[in-house]
Structure 1
Amino acid sequence: MKIKKVYEVMIPLSEYATVNENDTLKTAIKTLFLFQEAKSNLKYQHRAVLVYDENGEITGKVSSLDVLRALEPKYSQFGHSPRLTKIGLSRFGLSNEFLNSLVNNYNLWDESYEVLVKKAADLKVKSIMHSPDEGEYVNEDTTVAEAIHQLIIGHHQSLLVLKNDKVIGILRLTDLFNLICDLMIK
């Protein structure tokens, strides 16, 4: 069996929803929904929007979690450690009761749901997007096996694909999952 390369599985940038970093979150969500509607034939719909700067370079991504996090600015007081949250807070003795006490002590969602949603809709994408770190990029010529290692060890949902240090696409966990499952059942 021929070992596939990342470029054979990735989604090219031209086939992915993108917005400018100065667009609002509302615009990003509308863009995502329009893109999903236009690409309704896809087995796995896109759940994120890639963000570009004034030079047209991809600088970040807005995921479902980023949208929910945008509802409450005070979430930033807790920091953002994807690796820590993937481990699970219960391993550190943090119960649901403790989490509920954080909500109360920090006055999270102290405004109505509707007000929080309206405020979040007007936020600039650059203020809530996730800016990838070094481990969230992969070269187009990397093998799928290496990319899988990178996704698993880094706890990533996707990797931005580079060609000559420029983002040319995105490699999603769901596409690799589909590839592996297809191989298993053949």
Structure 2
Amino acid sequence: MLGTKKIKELMIPLSEYPKVYDDDSLRDAISSLKAFRAGDNRHRSVLVFSRTKKINNEEKLVGILTVRDILNHIKGKTLSYNGAELFAVSWSRFYHKEPLKKSVVTKVGDVISPLVQAFVQSEQSVTDAIRLMMTKNVNILPVFEGQKAVGVIRGIDLLDYIWDMCE
């Protein structure tokens, strides 16, 4: 039955997921994503930890940085303004080094999606993760054991599980 499987049985452990710190740059985050792009591990987000905030003497997970967050930030930094009026978005600037270099020095902590109410506990059922993803409109959820981050569960992992249930 779909609801009997626990999230911990499907989650990706932290060690298998890209990680950066909130005081790292977006360039560091992109580098971390690239380092994990081997085989089936084509992650679309990076877990963001704090070097200064701790939970039981371990670094605290403070947010998730998605590829979309990175692209939206770059887009925002390369728009052309004249006073309050916005001219056409110059997508061609994505292909020029200088605007890109200027936009990727931003600290990850200034761009991340914070963890508000979109997380699960490892002992919760898979249906809880599906419900939360649908109600919060997210594709990835951090997984905790108490207050300690232990992994992530992605929409694609849940879809794979649903497929297996249908076979």
Q: Report deviation, 1:116.
A: 3.0
What stretches of structure 1 move > 6 A for 4+ residues in a row?
none
Matching residue of 2:81: none
Q: What does 1:71-90 align with in structure 2 at a 5 Å threshold?
A: 71-73=74-76
Indicate the structure with greater helix content: 1
Matching residue of 2:18: 17
The alignment status of 1:35 with 2:36, answered yes or no, reads yes
Q: Report deviation, 1:179.
A: 0.8
Contiguous gaps of at least 5 residues in structure 2? 79-83
Which letter does structure 2 place at the counterpart of 1:137? F
The SS at the match of 2:36 is: helix
The alignment status of 1:180 with 2:148, answered yes or no, reads no
TM-score (norm 1): 0.74
Contiguous gaps of at least 5 residues in structure 1? 76-103
Does structure 1 retain, via aligned residues, the 8 Å contact 2:64–2:114? yes
Matching residue of 1:47: 44
Q: Matched residue pairs, number?
A: 152
**More contact order relative to length (CA 8 Å, sep ≥ 6):** 1
Distance 1:120 1:66, change over 3 A: same
The SS at the match of 2:128 is: helix
TM-score (norm 2): 0.82
Does structure 1 retain, via aligned residues, the 8 Å contact 2:144–2:151? yes
Distance 1:108 1:6, change over 3 A: farther
The alignment status of 1:112 with 2:93, answered yes or no, reads yes
Indicate the structure with greater strand content: 2
Q: d(CA) in 2 for partners of 1:109 and 1:22?
A: 29
